[in-house]
Amino acid sequence: MREAALSTLPRAKNAPMRLPRQAWLLARNDLRQEMREWELVATAGFFTLVVLVMFALAFATLSRDAQVLAVPGMLWLTVAFVGALTLTRIFDRERESDTLRALLAAPVERLAIYLGKALVTLLVLLGCCAILVPGVVLLFPAAAPLAEHPIQTVTLVVLGCLAYTSVGTLFAAGLATSGGKNVLLSVILYPLTTPALIFALVATRALIENHPDFSKYLSQLAALDIVLVGLSGWLFESVLVGTGARRAPTTRRRRG
Amino acid sequence: MPAVTPLQLRAIGKRFGRLAVLRNVDLTVASGEIVGLIGANGSGKTTLLSIAMGLLPMSDGERWLGGRQVDDISIEQRAAMAFVTHTTQLYARLTARENMELWLSLRQAADASVGEIEPVLRRLGLGDAIDRTVGTFSRGMMQRLCLARALAGRPELLLLDEPFTSLDPPGRKRLAEVLREEADRGLAVLLSSHDYDAIISVTDRVVLLSGGRLVGEVVRADERGAEGFRDAVLALGRGSTREAAHA
Amino acid sequence: MGRLFPVILLGVGALTLPYSVQRVFLDTPIERTMGTVQKIFYFHVPLAWIMMLLAVVCGVAAGIQIRTRSERAEATAIAAAELVLVAGLGVLLTGPIWGHATWGKAWTWDARQVTTGLLWLVFASYVLVRHFGAAGSERLAAALAIFGAVNVPIIYYAVKIWKTTHPDNNVVGSLPPQMWASLWPALGGLLAMTLGLLWARIRLERAEIALDEAWVGVEDAPQEA
Amino acid sequence: MQLFEDFEPEGADAAGAAGEQAPALGGGEYEPVEGRDRQSIECQRACESVAAKKTASDYSHIVWAYGIIWALFCGYGILMWRRAQRLAADVEALRRRIDNGK
């Protein structure tokens, strides 16, 4: 039984369910490895706790007005730090024995690799936010509205983390295959994700202040999410393995 | 046996800026044929295999798969190819069975083929280690597991980058036997190696890559016999080292 | 034609800019609330527009490069990114000078300042990745440029979303005609200058690529003979 | 010119300086000129000096801003010129190499 042949037509898209299935299989594979050691969750969760304690020590005496400004910053700064940590680890795991290259050579949709990795990163980030947000609410009285509007808070956190993850996964994967230095990741990641984080920041502040524009900011963040996920998904294959038609053979101008 | 040629590389060139890694390389691998790729370190063997597998874009030339020119290798085409590298490419935290399961379930619509895992592993001498974590394996065992994973997908074209490096003599012998069996069923194999003895024992044809270009070829002709082929390959290898020393 | 074009553009720029300086300083009324210093506006704002235009050019070229692997697109992306850095530095330096004179504070952490700075940083990291990245990182850099270009509209709307000290976007729309009349030559001159430099830089980059190929070709020749 | 003619009949010698230091509160022999009392003149001078200072600082700001833009473009031009020089040297090396090869 041969399931495929080299002589089949290229780009025969005959398996519509392949993408979600493969994405889920890859995410499950990552989660399964994680459940052997709890390495990612433990380091990221511990890191979140440490940051939270440091915030408590540094900012506990802030006035209520100042807290309104400080709390959104703490929240999204921590997400940025934890995100960079998680992304580095999650692709280090694929680099250890070059499994990412194996996946690229395997009959796997490239988009499925992206979605699987992004899903795991998102889950880890959300897990950290499950520590972070209640912690912030407990420590800073001004953050109480976050607890009073749980649905809005959860939506906001998911959308914000999604924005970060979508961009981060693309560039972490790109660096993992280009044999580059991981140091470049933070250099690239922080300026690129800051616009998304600023949107999340503004929305968080609106939520804390019970500002009527909150839903507007939230929908803007959602629109940004769609743009970022779409763009990253579109670029993922090209960044990991060069695609597209080969450069057309140009007639060389004479050089003299 | 399919009539088409699984892999044909025409005038492949690969440059990184001013550095030409491959120049004008023509290479064909037919069904049932095992082709050996020899050459010094840095002669472009791994680059050539990566280009054949579509993991690197080429700067010049054409890649033909199954009689058709291919710029972007489709999923269906990748399903008919397999690439085993000297890096093990296995998840060290998972068991051999789980690694195989992941690969087979990624390929197929249902987890139907999971029953095939044990025979394949046993064939490569890993029958006792099925449920051990890959992290506890020796390099040689990992290499065999990789090969098992590649063969389980029943490819038409198998690319191997330094498959003999960490195998012990019995392991090499077994690998050679398995490759020969698969080739007899129509598999096309392209493998690179430093190990002349292993190459001589398994290949039908040996090509020498030097400085990014193909500089020599020896075909195992029936009338020449094993010794003749052996001497020709060794002479080819000596020629390349002399050339390298000269340059 | 290819050789002449940048020279023509640079020449047009060299002629237009003195004329626009003369217009700005002698023929344009002094703005009532900000005074003479408002004249920085005639160079700051066009330069900011040019920077954004170049960022978009770079993003589009990078998109074409990643799809078709065209060397022309690649050279364009590199040249545009470098000029984004030059123009961006101009915007980021003249902005605080203007701000220092009118608001009394050079850097106010205003949203548009911050996002312009971010855009600049994104393209700086593009140039860095191009220079120091490993082989194959040109695709990563291209993705970086595409994201940088996507940031441009975000920057543009940032002012509307976050009401801050920066003049609103529609200030430009409500300018008196005399000020518009002075803005056009300044914009034209700067644009001609930048495009001339862009064109020259693209030619240079392509010459470099062709030279790389020529070297590879020469190394081929003696061994074939 | 009109101003001087007003002062002419009383003291022609002092006329030149009168514009600067009109002794508005001094004596009764001079008829105070409309709008030229000491207070308003001092006020005007103060305004003028503030304006002059502002204009001077504005101009220095403008000169800086303008200079920076030019310096940046020139700097980039120089960088590009140096790059072109390097490229020309490279072409020369290539040409020599080809000539040697033949």
Q: Which residue of D has its CA nearest to C199?
A: D80
Report whether A53 contacts A139 (CB < 8 A): no
Q: Is the pLDDT of residue A20 over 70?
A: yes
Query: Mean pLDDT throughout B90-111?
Result: 83
Chain A contact for B228, CB < 8 A? no
The whole-angstrom separation of Cα C139 and Cα A131 is 37
User: Three-state SS for B201?
Assistant: helix
Within 117-176 of C, beta carbons closer than 8 Å to D belong to none
Query: Mean pLDDT throughout A63-80?
Result: 91
Interface contact flag, A245 B156, Cβ < 8 Å: no
Q: In terms of pLDDT, which residue wins out, C114 or A1? A: C114
Report whether A94 contacts B93 (CB < 8 A): no
For C105-134, the DSSP string reads -S----HHHHHHHHHHHHHHHHHHHHHHPP
Q: In terms of pLDDT, which residue wins out, C112 or A142? A: A142
Give the per-residue pLDDT at A135.
94
Give the per-residue pLDDT at A149.
93
Q: Is the pLDDT of residue C8 over 50?
A: yes
Using a pLDDT cut of 70, give the percent of chain D over it. Answer: 63
Give the per-residue pLDDT at A31.
93
Q: Which residue of A has its CA nearest to B77?
A: A6
The CATH topology of domain C4-165+177-204 is Four Helix Bundle (Hemerythrin (Met), subunit A) (1.20.120)
Give the per-residue pLDDT at B106.
87
Task: Report which listed range, B102-111, C25-34, C35-44, is most confident.
Answer: C35-44
Amino acid sitting at position A183: V
- C-alpha separations of C29 from C100, C181, C190, D62 in Å: 21, 11, 22, 16
The whole-angstrom separation of Cα C110 and Cα C166 is 7
Cα atoms in the 13 Å half-sphere on the side-chain side of D38: 6
Of A197-201, C10-14, D32-36, the poorest mean pLDDT is in D32-36
Backbone phi and psi for residue B87, each to the nearest 5 degrees, phi listed first: -75, 145
Task: Report which listed range, A79-83, C69-73, C209-213, is most confident.
Answer: A79-83
- Average pLDDT of chain D is 73
Q: Is the pLDDT of residue A230 over 60?
A: yes
Interface contact flag, C37 D62, Cβ < 8 Å: yes
Query: Mean pLDDT throughout A232-252?
Result: 68
Q: Is the pLDDT of residue D85 over 90?
A: yes
∠ CA(A182), CA(A185), CA(A187), 5° rounding? Answer: 120
Give the per-residue pLDDT at A247.
47
Using a pLDDT cut of 90, give the percent of chain D over it. Answer: 21
Q: Which residue of D has its CA nearest to C30?
A: D55
Beta strands in chain B (DSSP E): 7-16, 19-29, 34-38, 60-65, 68-69, 81-84, 157-161, 188-192, 205-210, 213-219
Give the per-residue pLDDT at C3.
78
**Crossing angle of helices C111-132/C41-68, nearest 10°?**
40
The whole-angstrom separation of Cα A118 and Cα C95 is 39
Interface contact flag, D65 C36, Cβ < 8 Å: no
Chain A contact for B138, CB < 8 A? no
Q: Which residue of B has its CA nearest to A102?
A: B89
Nearest chain C Cα distance for residue A175, angstroms: 8
Give the per-residue pLDDT at A250.
39
Nearest chain C Cα distance for residue B47, angstroms: 12
Chain D contact for C7, CB < 8 A? no
Of C7-16, C75-84, D59-68, the poorest mean pLDDT is in D59-68
The whole-angstrom separation of Cα B62 and Cα B69 is 7
Give the per-residue pLDDT at A243.
62
Chain B contact for A98, CB < 8 A? yes
B neighbours by CB contacts (3+ pairs under 8 Å): A, C
The whole-angstrom separation of Cα B205 and Cα B247 is 26
Give the per-residue pLDDT at B238.
78
Query: Mean pLDDT throughout C51-70?
Result: 91
Query: Mean pLDDT throughout A63-89?
Result: 91
Give the per-residue pLDDT at A8.
62
> Mind listing the pLDDT tens digit for each residue in C210-225?
888 888 888 765 544 3
Beta-bridge partner residues of D54: none
Of A143-152, B8-17, C39-48, C129-138, the poorest mean pLDDT is in C129-138
Chain C partners within 8 Å of A187 (Cβ): 125, 128
Q: In terms of pLDDT, which residue wins out, A247 or A183? A: A183
Query: Mean pLDDT throughout A188-200?
Result: 86
Give the per-residue pLDDT at D19.
46
Interface contact flag, D68 C94, Cβ < 8 Å: yes
Confidence of residue B247 (pLDDT cuts 50, 70, 90): very low
Task: Report which listed range, A113-122, A169-178, B142-151, C131-140, is most confident.
Answer: A113-122
Q: In terms of pLDDT, which residue wins out, C80 or A247? A: C80
Chain C contact for D97, CB < 8 A? yes
Report whether B105 contacts A27 (CB < 8 A): no
Nearest chain D Cα distance for residue C103, angstroms: 13
Q: Is the pLDDT of residue D84 over 90?
A: yes
Interface contact flag, C121 A184, Cβ < 8 Å: no
Query: Mean pLDDT throughout B157-178?
Result: 89
Chain B partners within 8 Å of A97 (Cβ): 87-92
Give the per-residue pLDDT at C34.
67
Query: Mean pLDDT throughout C80-101?
Result: 90
Domain ranges for chain D: 37-101
Interface contact flag, C212 B56, Cβ < 8 Å: no
Report whether B151 contacts B120 (CB < 8 A): yes
Q: Which residue of A has its CA nearest to C119?
A: A191
Task: Report which listed range, A157-161, B38-42, C14-18, D4-8, is most confident.
Answer: A157-161
Q: Which of C135, C136, C219 sits opposite B20 (nearest CB)?
A: C219
Tokens of C122: 């994104």
Q: Is the pLDDT of residue C15 over 50?
A: yes
Chain B contact for A213, CB < 8 A? no
Of B64-73, C55-64, C70-79, the poorest mean pLDDT is in B64-73
Confidence of residue B174 (pLDDT cuts 50, 70, 90): confident
Query: Mean pLDDT throughout A53-82?
Result: 91
Give the per-residue pLDDT at C195.
93
Using a pLDDT cut of 70, give the percent of chain A over it. Answer: 87
- Average pLDDT of chain A is 85
Using a pLDDT cut of 90, give the percent of chain A over it. Answer: 52
Q: Which of A6, A29, A250 to mutate to test the interface with B (most CBs of B within 10 A)?
A: A6
Q: Is the pLDDT of residue B244 over 60?
A: no
Q: Is the pLDDT of residue C191 over 60?
A: yes
Domain ranges for chain C: 4-165+177-204
